[in-house]
Homo-oligomer: A and B are copies of this chain.
Amino acid sequence: MHDDLSPLCGRFLAAADLLGRRWTGVILRILMDGPRRFGELAQGIGTISERVLSERLKDLEAEGIIERHVDPGPPIRSEYRLTQKGQDFWKVIDELGKWAERWVELKPAPAPAQAPARSVAVKAARATPRKRKTA
């Protein structure tokens, strides 16, 4: 199997828990391109609610992954940017992006008689309730 995986310890659990909150990965991905303001993030993600964006930003700031800079030059604007800890996350985001490019199909193959993967049809692009199972 794989030889040098980090052990499953508390550290990993904490990191997975962080990324396990909805939108965290996407926010980080956007900030990898440079500082962004609240509204830009909201627009960039498109389907996140402002309530949650605000919450996530606070979480990330509390973790020391991003920093908030308020520019009071009259039109008060705040800007979020990655700290070194956040910058360092880029490889995770990059690998996730590569995996997505390789494996995520944007269109659910109708009848893959022998196709290997069924793939995650881009349902994430909508403000999806993630799954609408009435069961």
Residues on A lying within 8 angstroms of B by beta carbon are 1-2, 4-8, 10-26, 29-30, 32-34, 44, 62-64, 83-85, 88-104, 106, 116-125, 130
A-B complex: 4 closest residue pairs judged by Cβ atoms: A6-B97, A16-B25, A15-B100, A17-B124
Across-interface contacts of A10 in B (CB, < 8 A): 104, 106, 122, 124-125
**Bound CA span A1–B95, Å:** 17
Across-interface contacts of A99 in B (CB, < 8 A): 15, 88-89, 91-92
A13 near B26 with CB under 8 A, answer yes
B32 near A120 with CB under 8 A, answer no
The one of B5, B7, B26 that contacts A8, using a Cβ cutoff of 8 Å: B26
The one of B14, B34, B83, B88 that contacts A1, using a Cβ cutoff of 8 Å: B34
**Bound CA span A5–B82, Å:** 15
